[in-house]
Amino acid sequence: MLESDSVGGAIRHLVGSPVAGVISDVHMPGGNAVELFEWMRERRPALAARVVFMSGDAGSSEAQALIDRGCAVIAKACGRELREAILAAVPPDDEGLDARTSGVVCIDRDAEHVVDQ
């Protein structure tokens, strides 16, 4: 699992590493999840369909904007719910990358909610 605490760090991982899926905080330094999602949709469209966002404030305007775009948004402090959402969002792709066998980028501004793969 690759980790980042910012949008810029996440993008560096997404550019430089084979990534099966993304778990991201909605609010983070250097941008927000809507910006990250739009970057993925433009540059890594297949990956944009394999993302789970989490938020301590799932009712925020950013979280709603992601939901409106068809993204999964779950509450932080989610444990099993997060793992199930990851496995559902990151099934095997054409290259055989999935959440069980490949890297998943985890972006959390507080680096408190990392899930073992």
Q: Where are the domains of the chain?
A: 2-107
Q: Where are the alpha helices (DSSP H) in the chain?
A: 7-16, 33-43, 45-48, 61-68, 80-89
80-90 mean pLDDT = 72
Query: Tell me: the pLDDT tens digits for 19-66?
Result: 888 888 888 878 888 999 999 999 999 888 888 888 887 778 999 999
pLDDT above 50: residue 67: yes
Question: Domain 2-107 belongs to what topology?
Answer: Rossmann fold (3.40.50)
pTM exceeding the 0.95 threshold for the entire prediction: no
- Give the three-state DSSP class for 66: helix
pLDDT, greater one: 106 or 84: 84
Bridge partner list, 28: 31
| Average pLDDT of the chain to the nearest whole number | 77
Of 110, 16, 34, which is closest to residue 2 (Cα–Cα)? 16
Angle in degrees, 0-180, between the axes of helices 61-68 and 33-43, rounded to the nearest 10: 30
pLDDT above 80: residue 111: no
The reported pLDDT for the residue numbered 76 is 75
